[in-house]
């Protein structure tokens, strides 16, 4: 039994840009999540404050974190696809094979 990829995998010329974007998004989310944790540790009573639509801050912040993570995933996919298309166009303009 062979354990090989089912299709040929070419070199990813956009991997450096994609890595930088992933690290940037990670730190953005890290600081937002850190804010939630810090509020919970330092002033947990603040999480019980009623906010929009009768939700307390903990629920609103938690739902917002989930929605924001999904949004970051969509944005990451969008920008990575653009980076790959851009690098393929640049390679094609130079006349190299991809």
Between CA 52 and CA 58 the distance in angstroms is: 12
pLDDT the model gives residue 97: 62
Q: Are 72 and 28 in contact (CB under 8 A)?
A: yes
What SS3 class is residue 39? helix
pLDDT one digit per residue (tens) for the chain, 98 residues: 677 777 777 777 888 999 999 999 999 999 999 999 999 999 999 988 898 888 999 999 999 999 999 999 999 999 999 998 888 888 888 887 65
């Amino acid at each position: 039994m062979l354990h090989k990829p089912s299709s040929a995998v070419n070199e990813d010329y956009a991997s450096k840009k994609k890595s930088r974007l992933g690290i940037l998004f990670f730190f953005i989310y890290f600081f937002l999540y850190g804010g939630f944790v810090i509020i919970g540790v330092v002033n947990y009573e603040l999480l019980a404050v009623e906010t929009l639509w009768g939700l307390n801050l903990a629920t609103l912040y938690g739902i917002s974190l989930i929605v924001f993570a999904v949004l970051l995933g969509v944005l990451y996919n969008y920008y990575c696809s653009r980076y790959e298309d851009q690098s393929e166009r640049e390679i094609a303009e130079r006349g190299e094979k991809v």
